């Protein structure tokens, strides 16, 4: 069955899931361009997709914010058609054996801080900062970090007057416990400071490979959240960041020192990491850890291919010319970073779409 959205986009295979709703590969039937299509049942208990589409619209035009091509109802589903992006930072973290070098962490920190600052400048807080919600671009934008999944985003101030929302307590935890700020665990209404504290935990997760409050055992969700909070509160930032440059502890201590309605000094935080980057002698060449992994992988394949051909020649089974290992230049890999291979849409993945 040929499943379509707005009679313009064909739905293909499932490629992911957000906080609310599943995400499918889509194809623009006119241009052939690939897009992402997020679907949510119209019968969803707590519908979020329409709200998320409105947030994307409010953020439209920002660097690293995907563009919504279409939103509306199709049969039994709400559908949002959005730019197709590359892998998430969580995917790439796994690809790199769950450790990033300091250079990669600092390259990411710079862009992630800019994305969060932009969201805040448009009067929203994200409330679910985690590696899964930052995706690399594709093609020419393969080195650009994009922020996604605004289902939990909230306005923290009036767009016209800039009057901040009031301080409240006894709020349920919104977001992901692993990266939640201490104040979020304590039930305090979230504000700009909490997005930034969460980013601090993400950066240490990338540096360390894991966080001390991962893998804690508990019988209920509440018990688990309480254990995570306790571990988070009793782990000094200096201990959490031990073995890594002091800038990470300085960053976390700064975000934790902010008052509820304080405007963070984003430029100061970016400079903190940029100065460290320069001091370490790194260059802004956008060669991330996964770029090098891919180059090494390709070189390894080329060497193996050559070895197999030489073995064949030595056995006397072939007199074919042995190919030279491919010329693998980092610059070419960087330029092509994240470029998707052509794929055939798998329509059977969404037979429950609800259209007859």
Q: How far is CA 1 from CA 4, 351, 352, 355, in A?
A: 10, 8, 11, 9
Q: What is the pLDDT of residue 314?
A: 61
139: left (phi over 0), alpha (psi -120 to 50) or beta: left
Grouping H, G, I as helix, E, B as strand and the rest as coil, residue 56 is helix
Q: pLDDT digits over 164-179, tens only?
A: 999 999 999 999 999 9
Q: What is the pLDDT of residue 317?
A: 45
Average pLDDT over residues 227-244: 98
Q: How far is CA 224 from CA 109, 218, 229, 233, 246, in A?
A: 28, 5, 9, 14, 30
Q: What is the pLDDT of residue 321?
A: 40
17 membership: H or E segment, kind and range:
strand 9-17
For residue 340, what are its two tokens?
A: 């998707």
Whole-angstrom distance, CA of residue 293 vs CA of residue 328: 12
Q: Of 8, 18, 95, 44, give the one whose Cα is nearest residue 354.
A: 44
For residue 245, what are its two tokens?
A: 């440059």
Sign of the C-alpha dihedral computed for residues 174, 180, 184 and 189 taken in this order = negative
What does the radius of gyration of the chain's CA atoms come to, in whole angstroms?
23
Helix 266-279 and helix 102-121, axial crossing angle in degrees, nearest 10: 160
Q: What is the pLDDT of residue 18?
A: 72
Q: What is the pLDDT of residue 2?
A: 77
For residue 44, what are its two tokens?
A: 């969803």
Which residue ranges are tagged as binding site? 38
Which residue ranges are tagged as binding site for ATP? 38
- Does 342 score more than 60 pLDDT? no
Q: pLDDT digits over 19-46, tens only?
A: 678 999 999 999 999 999 999 999 998 8
Of the residues 91, 110, 128, 262, only one is catalytic, namely: 128
User: 354 pLDDT band (50/70/90 cuts)?
Assistant: very low
Q: What is the pLDDT of residue 323?
A: 42
Strands 77-83 and 34-41: antiparallel
Grouping H, G, I as helix, E, B as strand and the rest as coil, residue 258 is coil
**128 among known catalytic residues:** yes
Q: pLDDT digits over 56-100, tens only?
A: 999 999 999 999 999 999 989 999 999 999 999 999 999 999 999
Q: What is the pLDDT of residue 171?
A: 97
Strands 154-155 and 124-125: antiparallel
- Does 320 score more than 60 pLDDT? no
5 membership: H or E segment, kind and range:
strand 4-5
Whole-angstrom distance, CA of residue 268 vs CA of residue 244: 19
């Amino acid at each position: 069955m040929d499943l379509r959205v707005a009679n313009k986009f064909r739905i293909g295979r499932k490629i992911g899931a957000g906080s609310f709703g599943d995400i499918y590969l889509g194809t623009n039937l006119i241009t052939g361009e690939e897009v992402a299509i997020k679907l949510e049942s119209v019968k969803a208990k707590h519908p979020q997709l329409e709200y998320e589409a409105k947030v994307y619209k409010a953020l439209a035009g920002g660097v690293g914010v995907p563009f919504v091509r279409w939103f509306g109802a199709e049969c039994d589903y709400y559908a949002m058609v959005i730019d197709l992006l590359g892998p998430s930072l969580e995917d790439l973290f796994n690809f790199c054996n769950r450790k990033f070098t300091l250079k990669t962490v600092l390259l990411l920190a710079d862009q992630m801080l800019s994305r969060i600052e932009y969201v805040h400048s448009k009067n929203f807080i994200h409330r679910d900062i985690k590696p899964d919600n930052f995706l690399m671009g594709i093609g020419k934008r393969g080195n650009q970090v994009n922020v996604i999944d605004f289902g939990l985003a909230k306005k923290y101030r009036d767009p016209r007057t800039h009057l901040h929302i009031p301080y409240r307590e006894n709020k349920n935890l919104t977001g992901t416990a692993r990266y939640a700020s201490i104040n979020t665990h304590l039930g305090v209404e979230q504000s700009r400071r909490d997005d930034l504290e969460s980013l601090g935990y993400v950066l240490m997760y990338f540096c360390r490979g894991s966080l001390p409050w991962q893998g804690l055992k508990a019988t209920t969700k509440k018990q688990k959240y309480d254990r995570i909070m306790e571990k988070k509160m009793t782990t000094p930032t200096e201990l959490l960041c031990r073995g890594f440059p002091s800038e990470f502890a300085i960053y976390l201590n700064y975000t934790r020192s902010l008052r509820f309605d304080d405007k963070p000094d984003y430029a100061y935080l970016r400079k903190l990491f940029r100065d460290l980057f320069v001091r370490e002698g790194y260059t802004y060449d956008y060669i991330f850890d996964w770029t090098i992994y891919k180059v090494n992988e390709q070189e390894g394949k080329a060497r193996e291919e050559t070895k197999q051909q030489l073995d064949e020649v030595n056995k006397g089974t072939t007199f074919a010319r042995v190919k030279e290992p491919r010329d693998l230049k980092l610059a070419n890999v960087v330029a092509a970073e994240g470029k998707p291979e052509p794929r055939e849409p798998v329509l059977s993945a969404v037979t429950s779409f609800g259209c007859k």
